[in-house]
Chains A and B, each alone.
Chain A
Amino acid sequence: MSISREEVLHVAKLAELQVTDAEAKALAGQLDGIVRFVDQLRGAEVPAGTPEFTVGPARVTLREDAVAPIPLDRSPERMAPDWQDGFYVVPRLAHQEGES
């Protein structure tokens, strides 16, 4: 199993992480080493029907439908890198992009 430069760039795009061309080669090598290490698991014998592990309470406890927000010690505006008229502001999305 060898991680290619292209795979690194593909995964970086999914993760919205900048990876320059220069970095891609070195990263591919490091990621390859890590993936080869964890590859041990692929050959491991796991009996059919073994469930995936869950930890913590067996069932989720639901919360009452009351308007009781966790208070904020400082306002969203104070924490925001860019803010205008009550809105968070980001650069314009590329035309016609995105989810609903």
Chain B
Amino acid sequence: MTWETVIGLEVHVQLKTRSKMFCGCSTNFGDAPNSNVCPVCLALPGALPVPNAEAIRLATLGSCALGCTVHGTSVFARKNYFYPDLPKGYQISQFDKPLATGGAVEIESPERGRVTIGVTRLHVEEDSGKSVHDRVPGKTAIDLNRAGVPLAEIVSEPDLRSPAEARAYLTAIKEILIAAGVSDCSMEEGSLRVDGNISVRRPGAPLGTKTEVKNVNSFSYIEKALEIERARQIAVLEAGGKVEQITQLYDSSTNTLRTMRSKEDSKDYRYFPDPDLPPLMLDAAWLEARRKELPELPSAKRLRFQERYGLPAYDAGVLVGAPALADHFESVVQAGADAKLAANWVMTEAMGAWNESGAIEVTAPRLAALIALVQGGTVSHQSAKKVYTMLRTSPDEPKVVAERLGLVQVGDTGQLEQWIDEVLAANPAEVARYKGGEQKLIGFFTGQVMKKSGGKADPKGVGPLLARRLGA
């Protein structure tokens, strides 16, 4: 009685350019409505599109980052439909000759473990404006600032098998494209949007009818919306009904789906190559330069952190998930620190600081020096945390700060032995019990030495000396 879920996602990301895809208007988000417009994006009579070089470069980088084949020739096409926030009555997009095809993204599926999700294609297109309903009662208000902003549309193969996988795929795409510098991928700011297609079938059966899920503006909402739709489809089929090809709009306030009135005509976009734009030709040398330009991507970095630094997968994941901290970690190791210790410090103290202030105030050499102090027994780990906090606002070296705070441990053997002698002399009964077999009393003695030293004794040094003192 099992059902297999089949999901495909269409992701639109805004490319990080200064100007729009086909005109020189600013792409700045949040400006006064209809202030970043010109004849081209207003679709005035006689205005013509001219493509943005940076948008093409970013789209190419994104395609490479997703493992796609970038085509030397691709063609802009008109996608024809009417909507008030689509000034020309067509969108300039790409149709049968897109920029890139055939990529893949690895995700960690909660159900299936590590799986590869195919990326069918990536193409460039322009964004539409924004329609705001009922801002003026009974009317729709249109702001065309967003009309013409460059987008990359990324279509996945229907390889996802659960709503959770869909979410994992989105997280992976976002991580990759941010690392590649292609887009901010912020759903809150609208620089990443997603629509889902979902169907269910009995294992081994042909694909079921798919429905579309739209209007989700967070990663958790897409997962919720797909779960609701999957449940709905299964209920329909189990009751002997048929799944209709509909579009579902998600309502986050009620966590429900609402069916969009299905249009009588399935969308006939009458695509044809845009005669205003000659073909986009990218030569092999340029494409190769883009591939080289690509920074190390998250999955590669995670692997490298595990292999080169011996970090466990979890730690590698945490560090790579915050690119600034991953870089910081590597700098700390390069400054001489032990990798495992460096990872711990970066994941705890540095990340804490980063979350608070958005900056890394304690430079890598200083953190490396602090770690060395702990390793060498000069300060205890606890004390070192206090030193770190101080280092965030002080430019001084860690040792100087530790001394100023009176946190330097005493590791001098002579001094330690003196305290040990005093403690052992003061606790003859416990010494006798220890020699009688109660080995665990070494902890008691260590504690006493710490007390006698006012917390300054280096416990790591005390241990071996005590043991020797108390005899074999």
Contact = CB atoms under 8 A, between A and B. Distances in A.
Tell me if chains A and B make direct contact, with any CB pair below 8 A. yes
A58 interface: yes
A77 B142 CA distance: 12
A30 B214 CA distance: 42
A100 interface: yes
Nearest to B17: A65
Nearest to A55: B275
Interface in A60-85: 60-72, 76-77, 84-85
A60 B74 CA distance: 10
A20 interface: no
Interface string B83-125: 1101000000000000000000000000000000000000000
Q: Interface size class for chain B? A: 35 or more
Nearest to B56: A62
A18 interface: no
Interface stretch (A21-29, A33-41, A42-50, A87-95): A87-95
Contacts of B135: 87
A84 B81 CA distance: 25
A30 to B, nearest CB: 21
Contact of A60 (B18, B23, B24, B278): B278
B26 interface: yes
Interface residues of A, number: 43
Contact of B51 (A55, A62, A93): A62
A69 B38 contact: yes
A65 B38 contact: no
A60 B51 contact: yes
Nearest to B47: A70
B84 A70 contact: no
B139 A92 contact: yes
Contact of A69 (B25, B134, B141, B268): B25
Given A69-B24, A100-B193, 18 more contacts: A54-B278, A60-B280, A63-B51, A63-B52, A63-B53, A65-B52, A69-B19, A70-B40, A84-B139, A87-B141, A89-B136, A90-B139, A90-B142, A93-B131, A98-B83, A98-B131, A99-B81, A99-B83
7 contacts: A10-B265, A60-B76, A70-B39, A84-B136, A86-B32, A87-B34, A89-B139
